[in-house]
Amino acid sequence: MAIPLALEKWSGKINTVTIGATKDAGGTRSTEIKIGAQEALPFLFTEGKLPYGPQVAFEVWDIAPSDWPAELTKQYGAVLNDPLEWAKICVEKFKAKILCLRLQGSHPDSGDKSAEQEAKLVSRLLKSVSVPLVIVGSGDDAKDNLVIPACCEAAKGERCLIGSAVQDNYKTLAAAALADGHNIIAESPIDINIAKQLNILISDMGMPLERIVINPTIGALGYGLEYAYSIMERARLAALSGDKTVACPFVCFVAQESWRAKEAKAAVTEFPQWGQERERGIAWEALTATALIQAGADLLVMRHPTAIEKINQYIEQLFK
């Protein structure tokens, strides 16, 4: 006789965050992307509703990356020097449903672009492509405090996802996102208590928890992935048990971590036993993404078109 499986009953659920605003919502995007809304742990469909699958965003920079491996750069070629053309290729050729614009060129060590320059780029990008946008700064707190508010204003009404607010530098970014109708990324260093505290601080400024997305600062395969997985799992268990302060979707910057791993970019001449760089890099990004999806990732920011294609197929199979 078959023994029935024990099913968990959860009292909480994950918030739904909508990225992008269509004409009906006061924006110009062609679609809206919804993430979150889970009522159970990842892919346990018998325990609760899981209405939205994970989404993958193509990463686009405002400058040509200087440290990307050759396998990555050759996927985009000359358009790496033109973020508008780069974005168009992602949407038109690779069928991107959402883009992540990284304003790396505003970093003092990477060109020191002004807030006005970056805001102009955001305005032009919104006219060039119609998909929803994630907009993240360079990581320099002082410069992001100048650049991100200007970009929020340039994208006012488009309901972008803005990042990243950190514990020591959240007030300016949160105020700008709130004022211009955007969602915000709350970044914490693989620590559930800091993630919870930061969400509370941001919500105390008037930003609803329903507009916060957690960046748990993941590691790639072989570089702390298992620890990131456990933190994400703990946060998701707490949220489903009723803790509303961590009941937010996750965004994971998969490519940022995967493509700087030695195993993903080392030349075959250096480690011939590892095989070709192309297969290694794609596999490293894809395997990191699959693990994070199982941990509960809602939005993955990736780079290689083949890795993204494999992950979209993986998600489709899981939801069958």
Asked if residue 181 belongs to a domain, the reply is: yes
Q: Provide the pLDDT confidence category of residue 3 given band limits of 50, 70 and 90.
A: confident
The per-residue pLDDT for 273 is 87
- Measured CA distances, 99 to 88, 239, 270, 297, 311 (Å): 10, 27, 34, 17, 16
Asked if residue 223 belongs to a domain, the reply is: yes
CATH of the domain at 185: 3.20.20.20
| Chain mean pLDDT for the chain | 95
Asked if residue 8 belongs to a domain, the reply is: no
Asked if residue 1 belongs to a domain, the reply is: no
Asked if residue 14 belongs to a domain, the reply is: no
Mean pLDDT of 45-71: 95
Q: Please answer whether residues 252 and 292 qualify as being in contact, where contact means their C-beta atoms are separated by less than 8 angstroms.
A: yes
Q: How many domains does the chain have?
A: 1
- Calpha distance 215→185 (Å, rounded): 6
Which has more pLDDT, 276 or 36? Answer: 36
Q: Which segment of 25-34, 69-78, 197-206, 302-311 scores lowest on mean pLDDT?
A: 69-78
- Measured CA distances, 293 to 70, 228, 275 (Å): 27, 12, 26
Asked if residue 140 belongs to a domain, the reply is: yes
Q: Provide the pLDDT confidence category of residue 1 given band limits of 50, 70 and 90.
A: low
The per-residue pLDDT for 302 is 98
- Calpha distance 295→53 (Å, rounded): 13
Residue 320 has pLDDT above 90, yes or no: no
Mean pLDDT of 202-215: 97
pLDDT, tens digit, for every residue of 76-134? 999 999 999 999 999 999 999 999 999 999 999 999 999 999 999 999 999 999 999 99
| Domain around 80 | 19-318
Q: Provide the pLDDT confidence category of residue 243 given band limits of 50, 70 and 90.
A: very high
- Calpha distance 284→279 (Å, rounded): 8
Answer whether 0.85 is exceeded by the pTM: yes
Asked if residue 95 belongs to a domain, the reply is: yes
Q: Provide the pLDDT confidence category of residue 271 given band limits of 50, 70 and 90.
A: confident
pLDDT more than 90, % of the chain: 89
- Calpha distance 55→312 (Å, rounded): 8
- Calpha distance 246→174 (Å, rounded): 17
The per-residue pLDDT for 267 is 84
pLDDT more than 70, % of the chain: 99
Q: Please answer whether residues 131 and 22 qualify as being in contact, where contact means their C-beta atoms are separated by less than 8 angstroms.
A: no
Tokens coding 25: 């919502």
Mean pLDDT of 283-300: 97
Asked if residue 9 belongs to a domain, the reply is: no
pLDDT, tens digit, for every residue of 69-91? 998 999 999 999 999 999 999 99
- Measured CA distances, 229 to 54, 104, 303 (Å): 16, 27, 21
Residue 4 has pLDDT above 80, yes or no: no
